[in-house]
Structure 1
Amino acid sequence: MRTGELAEQAGVNPQTLRYYERRGLLAPPRRSTSGYREYPPEALSRLRFIKRAQALGFTLDETEELLHLADGGPASCDSARTLATARLTDIEARVADLTRMRDSLSDLVTRCDLPRRDRACGLLHTLGEQTGEAR
């Protein structure tokens, strides 16, 4: 399968394939006599693995490790679980941060609903307090 065909089937652009090759996530394909890259069918499975790992929040470094673990035996499951647990902890912390930011911003936006004569802009005031500037 040529670069364009593989990229289309995997939902990535051709530059992504070359980048993954340089990073070692995707094995360099053989070349046809005319110089085109020709990927084996397994390349599509590997790309789908990478995309699923990214969709779960794994970095490319972590994905590379998961790919190596996928080639291993039963002990690899423990290592994969450790990676997934660390990723889950990170995601939970980010969700907590985003929830806090959403709640704070929602509160500030609600204050903006007061009639203009009855309000000072709490959003601008709060932002000014955080930077030490008065509004």
Structure 2
Amino acid sequence: RALHLYEERGLLVPSERSKGGYRMYNYDAVLRVRWISKLQEMGFSLTQIQEILHSWEHSQSAPGAMRRLQDLYREKLDETRAQLERLQGLEQELSASLDYLETCDTCDPERLVGSCSACDVHAPKDPAPELVAGIQPLSCEHTVAKQIAAANTSPRTES
């Protein structure tokens, strides 16, 4: 089905047809299908792939065509690296959240979920990661409990 779509879009041409009408593809066509697949994995749409191919086929100079392809791949590499950084940050946040939540296994099963915002199992200097803190109820009590906890841990000066 994908091969037929690629043909409709002008991305692929069968080398010949069998006597039964089946499309026959040569090795170059197989390479083209793999190339299309890789570009789609990188986030390119079929329309964008058509534009890349059209630009390539109508290029006046081989070095110019290669330079445009190089620029395109360099831009995609930069985007991929930025995405990897974001994903690594998310991985760290998920890992920290799971580590934090493992402590919750020791909590009394009779406690209600609303008491989690005033948890005394975690050390005051061990704040909940955002992925855990964000699910806590939004209430004045939560804010007041945090302020009281912060006030109790700050150094006091006596007059």
- Fold-level similarity (TM above 0.5): yes
Check the 8 A contact 1:30/1:38 in 2, yes or no. Answer: yes
Give 3-state SS (helix, strand or coil) of 2:135's partner.
helix
Question: How much has 1:18 moved relative to structure 2?
Answer: 1.3
Query: Number of residue pairs matched?
Result: 116
Flag the structure with larger Rg: 2
Counterpart of 2:89, as a letter, is R
Counterparts of 2:20 and 2:93, CA distance in 1: 60
User: CA RMSD, aligned part only?
Assistant: 3.2
Question: How much has 1:69 moved relative to structure 2?
Answer: 5.8
| TM-score, length of structure 1 as denominator length | 0.63
| Aligned counterpart, 1:82 | 71
- 1:99 aligned onto 2:88: yes
Stretches of structure 1 lacking an aligned partner (at least 5 in a row): 1-14
Stretches of structure 2 lacking an aligned partner (at least 5 in a row): 108-120, 123-127, 143-159
| Aligned counterpart, 1:109 | 98
By percentage of residues, which structure has more helix? Answer: 1
Give CA-to-partner distance per residue, 1:28-67, whole Å, 9 cap, x none. Answer: 5544443222334431232233344456x25244544554
**Matching of residues 1-135 of structure 1 within 5 Å:** 15-27=1-13, 30-54=16-40, 57=42, 59-61=44-46, 62-68=48-54, 71=57, 73-114=62-103, 115-117=105-107, 118=121, 122=128, 125-128=132-135, 133=138
Give 3-state SS (helix, strand or coil) of 1:113's partner.
helix
